[in-house]
Amino acid sequence: MALSYEFSIGSVRARENTMFSEADAEQMLALKSADELIRFLKDKGYGEGDTIDDILESNTRRMWKYIRSIAPDFNIFEPFLIQNDVHNFKTVLKGTMSDRDYVHLLMEPCTIKKDELIRAVENRRFEIFPEWLREPADKAYQRLAETKDARLSDAGIDRAVLERLIFLGKKSGSVFLNEYFSTLVFYANVKTALRGAKAGVSRYFYEKALCECDGFDKQAVIKAALTGESNLVKLFEKSDAYDCRKAMSIFAESPSGFEKFVDDQLIRLAKRLCKLSSEGCEPLMGYYIGCEYERKLIVIIAGGIKTGTPTEKIRERLREIYG
């Protein structure tokens, strides 16, 4: 029997009741060791394993198995899976050229099988890649081989996936996906420009790395970035796109606070357009994104415990959660 979105929405709504709450986050913040966090996660039924990484991997596998089992059309997750494809391509490319082990860094699920991707990179034959990725992949290969500049090699491939995300968001007909990926791409551009201005990269890098998108004047940004970070920030402070003015005021106080602001913008979109939706694919998308933010919550708290960071400092870094 074919699955329906009515069934899927009912299923994820029940699952959402088991997601982490603010009270759960506070309980985790009170833990003093990795062993205590591991016990907490196991007691909550979050995942299995002897380490935080094992538990996270276990949960991710279980999440995708569940989503596959209830999604009427798994292809709706393509925009998220192709980001894993690009991560895997960059990982294999750098690992192959530096003769370093990389297999443990590869991500799933993906649209390009890992063994096929590895063979494609080793032989520099990208016919199995989707058309939008073939030329950027070949150029990334060439740039890394000729210049050994990983940042420049990444630039074109990162722009290619951002352009694809915008295309898929618009093609989907989903208000949420269109707004979500427009926001994500806009701030990916902003982050790239800010990092580039601080590092003093060339115009050539900006041309290859930055993606055209709504609210982002690429040439004006490049012109400002080439004169320094402060002028670039001033330019962004004049923009009302995606609440950029507020983002820059936070960036001036704390770059890490800026990263949190961007993540919170995205999860709020999911909570507003997916959690309250009663039809279509949005509730499934929201559930997936909520699971990703649970993962971020655990990673931030685990990192804070490992480094002995004061609880209040860890709390400042926590993103909003979906549950």
> 206-220: per-residue pLDDT in tens?
999 999 999 999 999
- Residue 161 and residue 98 in one domain: yes
CATH of the domain at 100: 1.20.1690
Reported as type and span, the H/E element at residue 214 is: none
For residue 160, how many other CB atoms are within 10 A of its CB?
21
- Residue 123 and residue 150 in one domain: yes
Report d(CA 135, CA 209) in Å as an integer: 15
- Residue 135 and residue 68 in one domain: no
Q: Give me the number of domains the chain comprises.
A: 2
Last residue of a domain, one of 172, 188, 222: 172
- Residue 57 and residue 79 in one domain: no
Last residue of a domain, one of 172, 200, 221: 172
Last residue of a domain, one of 110, 145, 172: 172
- Residue 69 and residue 10 in one domain: yes
Low-confidence ranges of the chain (pLDDT < 70): 1-2
User: Is 58 domain-assigned?
Assistant: yes
User: Is 135 domain-assigned?
Assistant: yes
* Structural domain containing residue 126: 74-172
- Residue 83 and residue 161 in one domain: yes
pLDDT at 2: 64
pLDDT at 323: 77
> 150-192: per-residue pLDDT in tens?
999 999 999 999 999 999 999 998 999 999 999 999 999 999 9
- Residue 167 and residue 88 in one domain: yes
Report d(CA 263, CA 256) in Å as an integer: 11
Per-residue H/E/C for 62-127: HHHHHHHHHCCCHHHHHHHHHHHHHHHHHHHHHHHHHCCCCHHHCCCCCCCCHHHHHHHHHHCCCC
User: Is 230 domain-assigned?
Assistant: no
